[in-house]
Amino acid sequence: MASHDFARSVLGVIASVLVSVSVTVVFFPLGNVISIILFLSTVPTFYKIWKKKSVEQYSPVPYLVTFVNCGLWIFYGLPFVHPHSLLVTTTNGAGIVIESVYLLLFIIYSDSKKRIRVILVLIMEIIFLGVLFALTLTLAHGTKLRSAIIGSICIAGNIMMYASPLSVMKMVIKTKSVEYMPFLLSLFCFANGVCWFSYGLIRFDPFVVAPNGIGALFALAQLVLYAIFYKSTQRIMAERQAKGELNLGNVTPSSRSNNSQLEFV
């Protein structure tokens, strides 16, 4: 009987290890890929900025928040802060490079007032990360304490990053239009939150589980809004297009002749 119990225990341990390994193999690369896609999802926006040579009304806040958030997670994933978190460091390392390119373009194509503001905030963020790095390594001894300190700050940073589209959600509810809420960004925010939430459950890392779980809920709320107001958005855009065509159709022959005369004067 004892041998049967022992065999059952051994099989149970082997099964749990296999499940853990298989889940890890699935979510590690998947989380990496989705995170990189999320960072790259605003490439079309910056292509427009580069093409028009102006940032127009775009806000630098999401990119500044994501920059400092990536810096925090790079620090958190280092082996002397939180061991066995190489994936966290590499993914956010790629993220901070991408966000740096975005911010560089933002600085180049902003007016002088906005450019100075972005540079000052960026300098303060870099100083903050440097001071946090130095103080944690010198005053906090042991990976457990360091993980707790940096992890707590990372939670706040991650929630801020995921919450940045809330102002857009307010506009969507007010205008009943999702025209200015990119679907792909919301979709990959949700997928990213779910993947990193699942990754955090593998070793049960609450500092990864909590912010990404909340982030997935924020992104899900955006997707629900998109589903609710998609039809009304199409109707509003169709009415706007029809109104524009109607205005063009109301041009009288006399006005056309007047315009032609003006053109040839």
By the 8 A CB rule, do 117 and 59 touch?
A: no
Of 168-182, 186-200, 239-253, the least confident: 239-253
By the 8 A CB rule, do 76 and 154 touch?
A: yes
By the 8 A CB rule, do 109 and 54 touch?
A: yes
- Give the best-scoring range by mean pLDDT among 15-19, 58-62, 176-180, 191-195: 191-195
pTM for the structure as a whole? 0.68
By the 8 A CB rule, do 109 and 51 touch?
A: no
Residue whose tokens read 């926006």: 45
- Give, to the nearest 10 degrees, the angle between helix 112-139 and helix 143-163: 160
Q: What is the structure's pLDDT at 42?
A: 79
Phi, psi of 80 (to 5 degrees): -85, 5
DSSP one-letter code for 217:
H
DSSP one-letter code for 111:
-
Q: What is the structure's pLDDT at 184?
A: 75
Q: What's the CA gap between 105 and 221, in Å, rounded?
A: 30
Is 131 exposed, middle or buried, given 0-12, 13-18 or 19+ CB atoms closer than 10 A?
A: exposed
Q: What's the CA gap between 181 and 192, in Å, rounded?
A: 17
In the chain the first and final C-alpha atoms are separated, in Å, by 107
Confidence of residue 259 (pLDDT cuts 50, 70, 90): very low
